[in-house]
Structure 1
Amino acid sequence: MKTLPKIALGTWSWGTGFAGGDQVFGNYLDAGILRPIFDLATKKGLVLWDTAAVYGMGASETILGEFIKSSRRDELILSTKFTPQLASKNADNPVADLLEQSCKRLGTEIIDLYWIHNPTQINEWTHYLVPLLQSGTIKRVGVSNHNLAEIQLVNNTLKQAGFEISAIQNHYSLLYRSSEHAGILDYCKQNNITFFAYLVLEQGALSGKYDANHPLPEGSGRAATYNEALPQLQKLTDRMREIGATKNASVAQIAIAWAIAKGTLPIIGVTKLKHVEDAAAAIALKLSFDETRALEALADQAGVNTKGAWEKPMHS
C-alpha cells in the first residue's frame, strides 16, 4: 500500500442534493467548476481523495469518478465509505453491495481505504469486510465517528480474522478535541493507526474568511451552526493571523498545520483553487509547541461547542 500524503482532500461539498453541497454548505458545484481543482491537486502531489456514498447521494463519487478516468489510477489513493443507513436488509453482503455501487461511480475496481461511516448497529458490519480484504477489493479499512470502545471492538473482531483497523476518521479541530480527550489519538499512536481529522477548518469558521461582520452564507447548514459563534472566535482567529504573519501563512494554513502538528492527517474540503494551495502550503509549515498550546488555550476560552448533530460524545 502506498504511503499516505500528509493531507487528504475532501469532497463532502461536491455535487448537490441531500447531505451534499447545496444543503450543507450553500454551494452548487458541478464537474466543470471542480475539474481545475482536481488537476491542481494532482500537480501538487495531493493524491489522497476522501468521499462517501452518502455525499450528495452518489453525486460526489460520480464527479470524482469522472476525473479519475483521465488520471493514472495507480497514482491516486481513494477513500470512500459504507454508510449503514443505506444498507439493504436482503443482501448476502450489504457492505459488498454498497462497495460495488461506489466502485461503479468512481470507475475503479479497488478502493484503497474503505470506512464504516458511523457506528449504527455497531460491529454488525465488520465480518462483511473480511472477504473484501481477503480478495484485495479493499486495501485497508477504517471506522468513522466511532468512540474508543467501539473502535477497540471493531479492531479486535478484525484481528480474529487476521486484519486490523488502519485508520480512524473523526471530527477534530482546535474547537473540537473530543477524540484527543477520550484517548483515541493515543490509541492510534500505540496501534499504528492513522487518525484522519475532518472539519479541521470547521466548515470555514477557522479559515479567517468569516467573522461577525462577514458571516457564512445565509440559508446553509453551516451558517446555522457557526454564525452565532463567530464573535467568540475572534481572539483565536486574530492569534492565528498573527502567527501566520510570521510564517507567510494564512489563517486556514495555521489551522491545518496545527492538525498535522498533533499527529493527525487532516481532510481538507476543496471547492476552490485556493483551498488546494492552502493544503499544499500547510504541509511545509511548522508550529512550535508554545504556538500550539497558545492556540489551544484561546480555543478553550472561546467556549464554542461544534459537535455535529450526527455525532455522539467520544468518551465511552
Structure 2
Amino acid sequence: MTTIPAKIALGTWAWGDTPEGQVFGNYLTADDLKPVVTAAMAAGFNLWDTAYAYGSGESESKLGELLQDYPRDSYQLSTKFTPQMAAGDSDHEVADMLEGSLKRLHTDTIDIYWIHNPADVEKWTPQLIPLVQSGKIKRVGVSNHNLAQIKRANEILGEAGIQISAVQNHFSLLYRSSEEAGIIDYCKQHDITFFGYMVLEQGLLTGRYNVDNPLPAGSMRASVYNEVLPQVTALNDGLKAIGAKQDASAAEVATAYALAKGVTPIVGVTKAKYMPSETKALALKLSDSDINRLEELATAANVNTKGSWEAPMA
C-alpha cells in the first residue's frame, strides 16, 4: 500500500444511521453497502474515514465487516475518539475507545486516529502518545480544532517526538472558516494534510436537490438545509454551468473546488454508482476565474452552514 496520502477520502458518517436515529434519512445495511466498497477499492479509493460517534459504532462495524474481504495493507483506516462519548471512569479512556474501534474494524492498527473535537486539549492529547508508541496508531489527527488548539496539541505531542499529521475540519464553498482562520496555510507550512468534511454539505451542493425536490423529509440534514434551498439555487446553477464545460456534475465541481484549495475532501459514499464521480473530480481543472465565480456565488448565497457541534475557527 502506498504511503502517499490519498487525494480523496471516503466518508462513512451516513453508514451509522439506524432506524431509530436518522441523520441522513437513509438506513443502510452492510449488504446495501457492499457494492460501494467493491467499486471504491476497484477504483483505487482506499482511505476510509469513520468514527465511533457515527451510530455508536454502527459505521465502524459495517466498514470492518466489508473490508475483511481485502488484505489489510490494501486500505487505510481513519477513525476517532469522541470526548463526549467517553465513559468518564478511566485514566485511559482514549485507549479504551480505541480498543472498541479496533475490534469493530477487525484490525490491530489505525492509520489515522483523531481527537474528534477540542473538548479538553490538555487532557486528551497526551493519551495519544502511548498509543502511537505502541504501534496501534500510525498517524495522529485532530478534528474541529481551531489554529491555537492545533498548535497546542502539536506542542504536547512534540514533547514525545510526535507531530500532528492531519487536521479534519468542515470545509465547503459555503463554509471556508478554516481557510479564513489560516488553518489551511498552517497545514501546508507544516506538512499536515488538511481533510475537509461536508464538502458537498450533505448533498446541498450536488445539484440534486432544489425547492421542488428537497432533501429527505424527517432527516436531520433536511431540517438544516431545506429552508436554504432557494438561497443556493444560483450557486448550484453556477456549479452546473462550470461543470458543463468539462462534462462534469455540480458535485464533481464542488469536490474539485476543495481539491484546488489544497484540501483532501472526505466524500460520503452510499451508492456504487457515484464512485466514477470521484475519479472525474480528481481530473477536473478549475481556472482562477471558475474559482472566483464560485466564491462570489457562495458569498451571495449568504448561508451559514456551521454545524451545531462546531465552534468558530476564528
Q: Give the match for residue 93 of structure 2.
A: 94
Aligned AA for 1:219?
A: G
* Alignment length (residue pairs): 313
Output the CA distance in 1 between the equivalents of 2:126 and 2:177: 28
CA distance in 1 between partners of 2:196 and 2:224 (Å) = 19
In the superposition, the TM-score normalised over structure 1's length comes to 0.97
* 1:55 alignment partner, SS class: coil
User: Quick check: 2:194–2:264 contact (8 Å CA) kept in 1?
Assistant: yes
1:286 Cα deviation after fit: 1.0
Amino acid at match of 1:268: V
> Which SS does the other structure have where 2:55 is aligned?
helix
Who is 1:106 aligned against? 105
Q: Which position in structure 1 is the counterpart of 2:219?
A: 220
SS class of match (1:40): helix
Give 2:3's aligned residue: 2
User: Could you list the runs of 5+ residues in structure 1 that have no partner in the other structure?
Assistant: none
Q: Is the 8 A contact 2:172 2:201 kept in 1?
A: yes
Cα deviation per residue 1:81-105 (whole Å; 9 max; x = unaligned)? 0011122333231111110100000
Higher mean alpha-carbon deviation, 262-271 vs 284-293, is at 284-293
Q: CA deviation at 1:45?
A: 0.1
Aligned residue identity for 1:137: K
2:283 maps to a residue whose letter is: A
Q: Deviations over 1:49-83 (max 9, x none)?
A: 00000101101000001012111110101000001
Paired residue for 2:254?
255
Q: Which moved more, 1:128-137 or 1:102-111?
A: 128-137
What's the CA shift string for 1:284-309, capped at 9, x where partnerless? 11111110111011100110000001
- Counterpart code for 2:12: T
Q: What is the root-mean-square deviation of aligned Cα atoms in Å?
A: 1.3
What is the CA–CA distance in structure 1 between the aligned matches of 2:305 and 2:182, rounded to whole Å?
19
Instruction: Write out per-residue CA displacement over residues 171-226 of structure 1, whole angstroms, 9 at most, x where no aligned residue.
Output: 00000001111110111011110000000000000001001111111111111111
- AA paired with 1:12? W
C-alpha distance in structure 2 between counterparts of 1:193 and 1:244, whole Å: 30
Which runs of structure 2 are paired with 1:37-56 in the superposition (5 Å)?
37-56=36-55
Q: Are residue 26 (structure 1) and residue 47 (structure 2) matched?
A: no
1:154: which partner in 2? Answer: 153
Rounded to whole Å, the distance in 2 between the matches of 1:162 and 1:7 is 28
The residue type equivalent to 1:40 in the other structure is A
Measure, in 1, the Cα distance between the counterparts of 2:247 and 2:6. Answer: 23
Query: How do 1:1-316 residues align onto structure 2 when only pairs under 5 Å count?
Result: 2-17=3-18, 22-315=21-314
Percent identity reads: 57
Distance 1:170 1:298 in 2: 22
CA contact (8 A) 1:41 1:47 kept: yes
